[in-house]
Amino acid sequence: MIAYILRTLIKMCVTLFVIITLVFFATRLSGSPMETFLGEGLTAEDRELMIAYFGLDQSIWQQYLGYLRGIVEGNYGLSFLERRPVADIVAERVGPSLQLLASSVLLTVAVAIPLGVLAALYRESWVGSAIMALAFVGYAVPNFVIATFMVLVFAFMWNLLPVVGNGSWAHFIMPTIAMSGVLIAALTRFTRNAMLDVLGQDFMRTARAKGLPETVVILKHGLRNAGVTVLSVLGLQIAGLAAAGNVVVESIFSWPGIGELLVQSAITRDYPVLQFGVIAVSLAVVVINALTDIAYAVADPRIRLAKA
Amino acid sequence: MVDVTQTPVERGAIATLWTEANTIQKIAALIGLALVLLAVLAPLIAPFDPLKQSLIARLRPPVGFERHKPGFWLGTDELGRDVLSRSLYGLRLTLMLALLGASIGLLLGGTLGLVAGLRRGWTEDAIMGAVDLQIAVPFTLIALLILSIFGSTLPVMVAVLGIAGWEQYARIVRAEVRRITELPFIEAARASGGPPRYIALTHVLPNIVSPLVVQFTLALSNIVILESTLSFLGLGVQPPTATLGSMVGYGRDYMPTAPWMVIVPALMIILLTFSVQILGDWLRDRADVRLRSR
Amino acid sequence: MKALLTTTAALACLATGALAQQITVGAANVSSYLDPGRDHSNVGSQFYYNTFDTLIGKNHDSIEADWQPALATEWTMIDPLTMELKLREGVTFQNGEDMTADDVVFSLNRMYQATFPPYQVRSKDRLANFAEAIKVDDYTVQVKVEREEPLWETLLNLQQVMIIPEDYTKALSGDPQVAEDGDFEAFSLAPVGTGPYAVSEFVPGEKVVYTRYDGFWGDKAPLEQATVIRIPETASRITALKTGEADIITNVAPDQLGLIDADANLKTEGSATALFHVMIMNVNHPALEDPRIRRALSLAIDRDTLNEALWYGKAIVPSTHTMAEMGALHQPDLVTFEYDPAEAKRLLDAAGYDGTEITFDTDPVYYTNGLLAAQAIVEMWSEVGVKGRVNTTSTWSGSSPDLMVRNWSNPMYFADPFGSFGVMWAPNGPSEGEGRFNTDAEYAEIWDRFRFSSDVEARKAAYAELMERIKDNPPVLPLYRPYESWAMRKGVNWAPKPGHIPYVLDFRAGSISLADS
């Protein structure tokens, strides 16, 4: 187990190093920050001045080595635009993103697992088909379509819900639903499939044979065993979709989150913010993935055995 | 034990498939077929040139509403172009992009996954490392960087959409290759000196067709949604060319004032992904049943 | 449930607006830093006037140059190159410091003798003629120029020379006795001025909170608090106005005006902003080197139709690069730019245009209607036989040698042709610096006469000569002054004032009142 964790850690570090390197060079290939920073209309001379001011007059290798040294020393640089430490800027944005992520995961689990179980139990009837059809629709609608539509109906027409920022619990309703659509759809399907796998297995038959009520059998034995698979899928989905998928939701609801920050800094070429933001997000994803792997292995001895 | 030589998806069994399908699956199949037909026939059935502007007839509503302009059944957009014609051509381009993107992903990911599964060692580590990388960095950002480095032309867009899903194929193929090559009789074939390529072709390929087809259908709808997200950020296919995604992305500002610009392409996106997903799931269920029954 | 939600929404409204003397503004963009000296962006212009003062003020109700005492109470020329200004006594900064000649000299010289690169860049294009500011006594300063200056008041009324506190700024980082780059960087995150509102909270790019400064030397600020928040999405901004989360919203596109005007609780205000959306053409691109091609690209564009279709006729289409705000220098009689498709075709033939594809670059969102106009222009080109293509890019391509055509804006940084055309198209200015515009000795000589002649007629004549040059060999076509709109609750009395530079959110006394509080 310790060897496994060590190996995972080393892999994580290598992945992060490669990401840092790729992002560093890709940002510099993608365009210059100069015009964005001073509005339009810089003379050639002005540009030289500003390039030196941002430290971009050094050779790219010097910049790269300097950046690596900074990371080791815990100095991630100043935003070109705001001239304050990028770590502060990113830290400000992580909280709201995590809040939204947490509420979305809660909603997803609360909705998708019962739906998935029902869909598995009533596999042959219209209930199962209807649930699955619903799940497919959830998967098919782009999140900004759900979001814009909700804004139109619940805020613009009916004036029920606020649309700007994260000030109160009411502010969470629409962004959470918009974020969760895809997650619910995916998790419902996986829960259903996992339950189907479990329902046919021996220990379920044993439990029924012991005369336990069907509900208990399903909830206690079925769900617990299916839960392992569901957990791992949920972890992957959160990591993948949450980090990438909320730029749009954040823009629509003026949510001060990390996704929007990353896209904005990529568009304005604020290299230091972009680099640190990507590192932070990928670190989170890599860690969540690793934890999911480990949890998976711990939770289900059969898998560990099978893997060995 | 598993009969590895049997092809999970039998050919020429469309009639059987149809009779076995439930109502939702049948509806999905019909919707999918209709959409493909509309896309293929777009140049024949679209009433207008999708790029033709008319600045004096901007933002006209669909038939049946006040200020409707006859002939423009679904209304006009912010430059007075015909929404119906743009939707049809948009559907066509969107389908083409999705097919191309998913195929590139399949080829790239499938090949790399196969190599990783067969070769092992540092090759496998490098490929799987790349998979981890792709999972770790939000794809929107990768797309953004690629598009700003290479410019957002159609070929670059296709490449971006292709890269979007390769890691899924790679994971599936590698896992399957590893599972199969660890089966005793393959070990035996390997031990007796069978070349890896031969083993791959004869034993592995037939077994991964089913999961790959399923992944391919998933990727199709993911790509449609990704393209619309990029359009939302202003990074999608260049205007004035229409895709379903760009119509929704650029039209969203008009949701309160001219919702017809958005509703038709949004519905098409939903129907398209919906039917593709149902069909993909259906295929998977059939493959699962087969596996279970063995 | 519905009742509960309604209550919550109502509470949210109470918390953000509606209460006495408080408003919330939903802006499309919020600055990433607040320093009037280094900023000249359209986003930044919104924010400075509430918090900072200039030495010489202006009556913003009029487009005339009606100068008013502000931090300086009187000003006189003591020799042709020196102005002496008497400072207002009893003025305090929002942090309590007294404003004296030291602060004024510090603020002016940070621009006139700039060492901080962002200031250097900003001061060169408009303040190059200003040598230094000198303290005479605690309430008297002198400002010296290199050459006789025809625009004294104009250039002392600039946003870039608003007054900031010396001691406070110097103490922000490093040595409190010395002005370092770090001080100015820190200042832009915690700005302090002498204006009627202090910036009490600033989240870069997200939010600016103004709180009334009771020690203000002039008329008391009408609002206790004004909060500007960023709401980037158009539909969300309009919705926020409807739900009451915002009392005023900025950047309402012309296509959305009808929607708001149809709501009995809301209204819109707007004006043709003192800024041109322009089309620039790279004179050095091989395909565009022949001036006849560029003249044809310009003559093919029916700007009046663009105005009618995209702006509902509310924009202003100019005959030359001039604006009514420029007073005596406003020359609407000059005809530099026209619509003449027949002439365009003739020029294309004469130049032997071979069907080369001409790309028109535009940012997908930056300019209101920018992408629409680009698509419409390319369509208009096709009617005279030019093959065009729109290329959307979020990168500024104006400095690329591959640039063919793109959109840009020429704002009026101050009310003089020098503040608009004069900055953007100066010899060695930004356009020439980016390699898409060429000047020669003759152009430089005309430009110099236009910039420095003390006789207004001589300046006008020189400007007309410059316009002739532009007409014969065009690098630019001003499309129109866009009609920029703001929307608000009916109870808010606010409108953009004609005497301001573009986009200023002016909440000072006499500029805003709340009817229902």
DSSP-assigned beta bridge partners for residue C67:
C58
* Mean pLDDT, range C91-98, rounded to an integer: 96
Is A34 within a domain? yes
Gap between the Cα atoms of C393 and C361, Å rounded: 7
Nearest CB to A53: which of C5, C12, C117?
C117
Quick one: average pLDDT of C161-171? Answer: 96
Instruction: With CB atoms and an 8 Å threshold, state whether A132 touches B281.
Output: yes
Distance between CA atoms of B244 and B250, rounded to whole angstroms?
10
| Among the listed residues C186, C169, C187, the one whose alpha carbon sits nearest the alpha carbon of residue C178 | C169
Indicate if A109 and A238 belong to the same structural domain: yes
Instruction: Please report, in angstroms and rounded to a whole number, the separation of the first and last CA atoms in chain B.
Output: 7
Residue A10, pLDDT score: 85
Q: Which chain C positions have a beta carbon within 8 Å of A251's beta carbon?
A: 232-233
Residue A45 to chain B, least CA–CA distance (Å):
25
Q: Decide if A264 and C205 are in contact by the 8 Å CB cutoff.
A: yes
Contact by Cβ (8 Å): C412, C420: yes
Q: Output the furthest CA–CA distance in chain C (Å, rounded).
A: 76
Give the mean model confidence (pLDDT) for residues C489-508.
Answer: 94
Judging contacts by C-beta atoms under 8 Å, the chain B residues touching residue C392 are 152, 234, 238-239
- Find the distance separating the first CA and the last CA of chain A, reported in whole Å: 11
Using CA atoms, how far apart are residues A201 and B22, in angstroms rounded to an integer? 26
Q: What six digits make up the tokens of A95?
A: 């909280």
Chain B closest CA to A110's CA: distance in Å?
23
Do A60 and A37 lie in one domain? The reply is yes
The pLDDT assigned to B98 comes to: 92
Q: Nearest to residue C224, comparing CAs of C516, C23, C21, C17?
A: C21
When scoring A28, A46, A53 by the number of chain C Cβ atoms within 10 A, the one with the most, hence best to mutate, is A46
- What letter represents residue C73's amino acid? T
Could you tell me which of C440, C485, C351, C342 has the C-alpha nearest to residue C28?
Answer: C485
* DSSP state letters, C149-184: -TTHHHHHS-GGG----HHHHHTTSS-TTS--HHHH
Cα-based distances in Å from A133 to A145, A185, C164, C169:
18, 10, 63, 63
- Contact criterion met (CB < 8 Å) for A44 and C231: no
Q: What kind and span of H or E run contains A75?
A: none
CB C116 within 8 A of CB C124: no
> Is A80 part of a structural domain of the chain?
no
Q: Which of B246-255, C14-23, C146-155: highest mean pLDDT?
A: C146-155
What is the tens place of the pLDDT at every residue in C27-40?
999 999 999 999 88
Give the C-alpha separation, A147 to B248, whole Å: 13
Position B4 scores a pLDDT of 42
What is the rounded average pLDDT of the residues C493-504? 94
SS3 content of chain B, % helix, strand, coil (to 5): 75, 0, 25
CA distance B240 to chain C (A): 7
The full length of chain B comes to 294
Residue B82: C-alpha distances to residues B60, B69, B75, C374 (Å): 9, 10, 6, 19
CB contact under 8 A, C229 and A165: yes
Chain B residues with CB under 8 Å of A181 CB are none
Asked if residue A148 lies in contact with residue B252, where contact means CB atoms within 8 angstroms, the answer is yes
pLDDT at C14: 46
User: What DSSP line would sit under B140-161, residue for residue?
Assistant: HHHHHHHHHHH-S-HHHHHHHH
Give the B window 120-179 contacts with C, CB below 8 Å: 148, 151-152
B257 touches chain C (CB under 8 A): yes
Q: CA of B174: how far to CAs of A194, B169, C290, in Å?
A: 22, 8, 59
The torsion region of residue C41 among left (phi > 0), alpha (psi -120 to 50) and beta comes to: beta
Identify whether A79 is part of a domain. no
Question: Is residue A243 in a domain?
Answer: yes
The token pair at A120 is 């598995």
Query: Best interface-test mutation with C: which of A32, A34, A35, A43 has the largest number of C CBs within 10 A?
Result: A43
Q: Which residues of C are less than 8 Å from A267 in CB distance? A: 394
| Residue A164 DSSP symbol | S
Q: CB B138 to CB A136 under 8 A?
A: no
d(C-alpha C141, C-alpha C55), whole Å: 11
Residue A176 lies in a domain: yes
Structure tokens given for C487? 């929307």
Task: Please give the Cα distance from C488 to C26 (Å, whole number).
Answer: 10
Closest residue, chain A, to B232 (C-alpha)? A248
Residues C440-460: what's their mean pLDDT? 95
CA distance C465 to C450: 9
pLDDT of residue A267: 80
For position C170, what pLDDT does the model report? 96
Whether the Cβ atoms of residue C93 and residue C216 lie closer than 8 Å to each other = no
Q: How far apart are CA C104 and CA C54, in angstroms?
A: 10
Query: Do A126 and A23 share a structural domain?
Result: no
Higher pLDDT, C13 or C216: C216
The pLDDT, as a whole number, for residue A94 is: 86
Q: Chain B closest CA to C432's CA: distance in Å?
A: 25
**pLDDT computed for residue C204 by the predictor:** 93
Give the pLDDT confidence score for residue C18 in this predicted structure: 45
Nearest residue on chain B to C305, judged by CA atoms? Answer: B55
On whether any CB of chain C is under 8 Å from the CB of B56, the answer is yes
From the list B227, B269, B226, B216, the residue with the least C-alpha distance to B91 is B269
Residue position matching structure tokens 């009310």 = C415
| One domain, residues A50 and A132 | no
Mark whether A90 and A48 lie in a shared domain: no
**Mean pLDDT value across residues C3-12:** 47
Pairwise CA distance, residues A304 & A307, whole Å: 5
- Tell me, what DSSP letter sits at residue B82? B
Comparing CA positions, the residue from C437, C432, C281 lying closest to residue C358 is: C281
| Amino acid type, C175 | D
Domain-ending residue, one of A73, A102, A122: A73
| Domain endpoint, select from A52, A73, A94 | A73
| Residue percentage of chain C with pLDDT more than 90 | 84
Total domain count, chain A: 2
Task: Note whether A246 and A89 are within 8 A (CB).
Answer: no
Specify the length of chain C in residues: 517
pLDDT for residue C444 is more than 70: yes
Domain boundaries, position A43: 2-73
Low-confidence residues in chain B, pLDDT < 70 = 1-14, 185-203, 287-294
The H or E element spanning position A132 is helix A126-140
pLDDT band at C17 (very low <50, low <70, confident <90, very high): very low
pLDDT in tens, C38-94: 988 889 999 999 999 999 999 999 988 899 999 999 999 999 999 999 999 999 999
Do A124 and A225 sit in the same domain of this protein? yes
Q: Are residues A93 and A229 in the same domain?
A: yes
Cis peptide bond prior to B240, omega within 30° of 0: yes
Which tokens hold the place of B253? 């500002």
Q: What are phi and psi of C268, to 5 degrees?
A: -125, 150
- Say what angle helices B121-136 and B83-119 make with each other, to 10 degrees: 150
CATH number of the domain at A274, please. Answer: 1.10.3720.10
Q: Examine the domain organization and report whether A173 and A298 are in the same domain.
A: yes
Residue C439 has what pLDDT? Answer: 95
- Mean of the pLDDT values across residues C487-503? 94
Of B138, B104, B118, B113, whose CA–CA distance to B216 is shortest? Answer: B104
Q: Are A80 and A53 in contact (CB under 8 A)?
A: no
Which pLDDT score is estimated for A296?
A: 66
The secondary element (H helix, E strand) that includes residue A39 is none
Distance, CA of A197 to CA of A146 (rounded, Å) = 32
Task: Read off the tokens for A139.
Answer: 């998967």
What's the mean per-residue pLDDT of chain C? Answer: 92
- A208, part of any domain: yes
Residue A81 belongs to a domain: no
Tokens standing for residue A289: 């993935």
- Which chain B residues touch A129 with a CB distance below 8 Å? 22-24
End position of a domain, from candidates A18, A42, A73: A73
Cα(C314)–Cα(A271) distance, integer angstroms:
40
Residue indicated by tokens 């709501």: C263
- Which residue intervals of C246-317 are DSSP H helices? 257-261, 291-299, 303-311
pTM above 0.80, yes or no: yes
Q: Suggest the residue from C231, C234, C360, C381 to mutate for an interface test with chain B (most B CBs closer than 10 A).
A: C234
Residue C419, token pair as written in the block: 């503040």
Shared domain for A65 and A115, answered yes or no, is: no
One domain for residues A218 and A272:
yes
Cα radius of gyration (chain B): 23
Decide if C403 contacts C358 (C-beta within 8 A).
no
Q: What is the pLDDT of residue B100?
A: 94
- pLDDT grade, residue C98 (50/70/90)? very high
Co-location of A66 and A91 in the same domain:
no
Question: Which structure tokens are listed for B79?
Answer: 């430059």
Is A56 within a domain?
yes
Which positions of chain A have pLDDT values less than 70? Answer: 1, 35-41, 228-229, 232-233, 235-245, 296-308
Q: What tokens appear for C177 in the block? A: 């006795």
Same domain, A43 and A158: no
Beta-carbon separation of A160 and C5 below 8 A:
yes
Contact C5 A152 (CB under 8 A): no
ipTM over the 0.90 cut-off: no
Q: What count of other Cβ atoms lies within 10 Å of the Cβ of residue C470?
A: 20
A249 — contact with chain B (CB < 8 Å)?
no
